[in-house]
Amino acid sequence: MRTRFEDGAIEVAWDEFVRLFRAKFIPEHIQDRMEQEFLSLTQGPITVLEYEAKFAELSKYAPHIVTDERMKAKKFVMGLKPSLRTRLVAFDHTLDEALSAACRQEGEMQQYVEEKKASQKRPAATFQWQDRKKAVY
């Protein structure tokens, strides 16, 4: 909605301002490329927080795709690593809830892997002590 004030200034809604700004200062082919990058964005080898940062930046170029909070959260969850996505996809999250849950799951998975590695590094118990004890008797 535009309103002209007495001093000639025009009030413009924020979304409209952003659209006009991008149209003027960001070439269309760059906007299209960023939108395509957003559409194909997945977490891959990066952390959830790194993925969320890319997601937030690129989603600005595709506001018509993530029209509301539910659509934004759904797109975010579907781009997560399969091991995280399968744990979150059944729930209806906001983007903040999905991010929080994904970070918790990622942390737990990382802790599990570290504990598993640590347990594999421990030397196996040997029975030499028992053999020596038998020899003493």
* pLDDT tens for each residue of 15-41: 888 888 888 888 999 999 999 999 999
Measured CA to CA in angstroms, residue 81 lies from 11, 56, 65 at distances of 43, 17, 21
Asked if the model's pLDDT at residue 134 lies above 60, the reply is: no
Q: Give the global pTM.
A: 0.73
Question: Domain for residue 85, yes or no?
Answer: yes
In the predicted model, what is the mean pLDDT of residues 101-113?
Answer: 94
* 134, containing H or E segment: helix 128-136
Q: Which residue has the higher pLDDT, 111 or 92?
A: 111
State the Cα–Cα distance between residues 38 and 62, nearest whole angstrom. 7
Return the number of other C-beta atoms located less than 10 Å from residue 20's C-beta: 11
Total domains in the fold of the chain: 1
Q: Which residue has the higher pLDDT, 12 or 125?
A: 12
- Confidence at residue 99, expressed as pLDDT on a 0 to 100 scale: 96
Question: Domain for residue 94, yes or no?
Answer: yes
Asked if the model's pLDDT at residue 111 lies above 60, the reply is: yes
Which residue, 71, 63, 59, is CA-closest to 34? Answer: 59
Question: Domain for residue 68, yes or no?
Answer: yes
Question: Domain for residue 129, yes or no?
Answer: no
- Confidence at residue 47, expressed as pLDDT on a 0 to 100 scale: 97
Asked if the model's pLDDT at residue 50 lies above 80, the reply is: yes
Question: Domain for residue 128, yes or no?
Answer: no
Question: Domain for residue 2, yes or no?
Answer: no
Which residue, 120, 78, 122, is CA-closest to 102? Answer: 78
CB 103 within 8 A of CB 49: yes
The domain in which residue 53 lies consists of: 15-118
Question: Domain for residue 7, yes or no?
Answer: no
Q: Which residue has the higher pLDDT, 28 or 133?
A: 28
State the Cα–Cα distance between residues 51 and 79, nearest whole angstrom. 9
Question: Domain for residue 101, yes or no?
Answer: yes
